[in-house]
Structure 1
């Protein structure tokens, strides 16, 4: 496949991403599934170029607006080739020749755009700070408030490609052996610095090169997500609820840490996701997990099981600002509820799930957001309304996790920890008082 053909395939893929209200990674997967004619070695470069364009969305749009051109996939690609890849006008024109499955020839307006862009680079002194750091308007105020003078550093970190993080399933495999197996495949693998179950691969290999994913020995899971499961701190034999289990990534990690002993219930309002998660549970060799679809966050099942669980994880639906490194399209394409709808939903979910926690048990509230209104402020409001709960500091829950951006909570950022942005607060319900008639221990 020529470079010109790769450009055309990237254009086709970009147009599909723009046209459908689905996450880019899902569109990419479907695109290659239906394009069997694209050789496997070229799929990586096509995906990589797409994600480069997504990570430069605001800056490319700024240049196009500056020169009066519409913000289309083709114009974004043309602008990137000059501003980011350093191509000359003649080199771009040779690629856009319409031959060898390459893009159609340039129009007069496109040639004029290339002339105007020649010699410039993607960043420009006149760019507003939020444009330079690809920060959408809807998240700018909250992120500036959260990071203060660290805003440029934190946002710059989210513009870098994320590594491939893997979690070893201790039910089926040994971490050191898995590290050796990955290195034997020629991959630059290393032990994750914070997660006791993690391995990091500093490239993006074709996943079919990793047979351990099919056998359930490894799971793809960001190190930050693994640490959320660590702070749940579920013990073998306990009863645990993953209240917003989704695809089951954290459920898998929790059940494995419990050594397949005890009982884990994976709940979600999306039954199809739970069905897919159940397949992952079986592949991982875990038999202590039950799936439970819920009609809503206040399903009657919650009331019937009030006070019945040692640990309850609420991995709440959120803005996903912490995942922008992996999902750069999420900055610009709101595919679910906006913040105005998310904040009251998070509060309702947290309050409802809290009913499941037994006296002395723990409630873990987590998001993949970097915004205080979804994290610290939600926890503060919950504690004000539920005085039976107290914060368990991170140093008490997981003293091995250091460098958190908050003294009491797990607060991870790409700049500080080279993980996705994650937040988790551990809240403990006070133990039931001893009845006056209870015998006094000797």
Structure 2
């Protein structure tokens, strides 16, 4: 696949991402599944170019507006080639040749645009702070308050491509064996700094190069997500609920901690997500997991199993601001990230799931958000309404995590910890009676 053909493929994929209601990662996966003839090297180059355009969306739109051009998929790609990759107008024109498998030839207007952009860089002193930071208006002030002077550094970290983090399945392999196997494949693999079963691969290889994914020896999971599962502190023989299990990544981590003893119930309101998760559970060789489809967070199943579990994890639906480096398109998809709906839903889910915790048990509330409204504020409101629960300080819940960024809770950020942004609070239930 020559460079012009890769550009045309990227342009097609970018157009699909722009027009789809689904996240970019889902669109990309579906797109490549229908084009199995594209080799791994070309797939990697298409992926990297696509995500470079997505990560620089606000700045590319700013440049195009400055020159009176609409922010179409094609214009953004042209602007990135000029400003991000430093290609000259003549170089770009040779790629946009109109030949077989190549993008259609440049118009006079496009050549004029490239002439104005030539020699520039992606950043410009006149850009507003939110544009330079690739931060949507609705999140700018909350994130400024959250980070203070560290705001520019944190936002810059969310513009960098993330590494590939893997979690070793201790039922199938050891971390040392996986590291040896990855290095044998020519990959630069190191142990994660905080997660005891984590492995970090600096580059992003084609997943087809990793046979240990097919055998269930490893799962793809960001180090921060692994640490959230670690906070559940599930023991062999425990009864555990993953209340918003989704694709089952944290369920897998929790169940493996229990050495296939006890039971983990993966709950979700999506039957499709649970079916996909069940396939992952079988591939990992985990037999202590059950799935439960809920009609809503107030499903009658919750009341019937009140105070029946040692550990309950609430990985709540959230704005996903902590995953922007991995999902750069997400920041532009929904005005206010749906916070007017998410905040009351998070509170309702937490209130309902708490009923499942038995006296002496623990409740873990987590999000992949960096916004205090979804994190500390939710925990404070919950504790005020549920005096039977008390915070378990992080130094007690996970003494191995010494750089949390918060005195009581887990609070991870890309710049400080090299992970996605995650928040988690551990709360223990005393003997006070739970409401129904």
The TM-score by the shorter chain falls in which range?
over 0.9
Deviates more, 1:111-120 or 1:339-348: 111-120
Alpha-carbon contact 1:4-1:100 (below 8 Å) kept = no
Q: CA deviation at 1:343?
A: 0.2
Q: How many residues are matched?
A: 433
| Match of residue 19 from structure 1 | 19
The one-character-per-residue Cα deviations of 1:30-88 (angstroms, maximum 9, x if unpaired) are: 11111234333211100110000000000000000000000001100111111111111
Deviates more, 1:333-342 or 1:237-246: 333-342
- Residue 241 in structure 1 maps to residue 221 in structure 2: no
| Match of residue 232 from structure 2 | 232
Question: Helix, strand or coil: the match of 1:8?
Answer: helix
Task: Name the CA distance, whole Å, in 2 between partners of 1:298 and 1:312.
Answer: 15
Task: Name the CA distance, whole Å, in 1 between partners of 2:167 and 2:179.
Answer: 11
Task: Name the CA distance, whole Å, in 2 between partners of 1:335 and 1:204.
Answer: 31
Could you tell me which runs of 5 or more consecutive residues in structure 1 were left unpaired when the two chains were aligned. Answer: 434-442
* Correspondences of 1:45-84 after superposition (within 5 Å): 45-84=45-84
* Correspondences of 1:2-17 after superposition (within 5 Å): 2-17=2-17
Task: Name the CA distance, whole Å, in 2 between partners of 1:288 and 1:189.
Answer: 30
The one-character-per-residue Cα deviations of 1:365-386 (angstroms, maximum 9, x if unpaired) are: 0000000000000000000111
Do the aligned partners of residues 34 and 336 (structure 1) sit closer, same or farther apart at CA in structure 2, a change above 3 Å counting? farther
* Correspondences of 1:381-392 after superposition (within 5 Å): 381-392=381-392
Alpha-carbon contact 1:360-1:432 (below 8 Å) kept = no
Q: CA deviation at 1:275?
A: 1.1
| Match of residue 168 from structure 2 | 168
Question: Helix, strand or coil: the match of 2:155?
Answer: helix
| Match of residue 399 from structure 1 | 399
Question: TM-score with structure 2 length normalisation?
Answer: 0.98
Task: Name the CA distance, whole Å, in 2 between partners of 1:227 and 1:196.
Answer: 9
The one-character-per-residue Cα deviations of 1:242-290 (angstroms, maximum 9, x if unpaired) are: 0000110000000100111111111001111111111111111111111
Alpha-carbon contact 2:232-2:364 (below 8 Å) kept = yes
Could you tell me which runs of 5 or more consecutive residues in structure 2 were left unpaired when the two chains were aligned. Answer: none
Task: Name the CA distance, whole Å, in 2 between partners of 1:146 and 1:79.
Answer: 32
* Correspondences of 1:201-350 after superposition (within 5 Å): 201-334=201-334, 338-350=338-350
Task: Name the CA distance, whole Å, in 1 between partners of 2:64 and 2:417.
Answer: 35
Question: Helix, strand or coil: the match of 2:358?
Answer: strand
Q: CA deviation at 1:432?
A: 5.9
* Correspondences of 1:184-195 after superposition (within 5 Å): 184-195=184-195
Q: CA deviation at 1:334?
A: 2.7
Question: Helix, strand or coil: the match of 2:224?
Answer: helix
Deviates more, 1:424-433 or 1:182-191: 424-433
| Match of residue 359 from structure 2 | 359
| Match of residue 145 from structure 2 | 145
Question: Helix, strand or coil: the match of 2:365?
Answer: strand
CA RMSD of aligned residues (A): 1.3
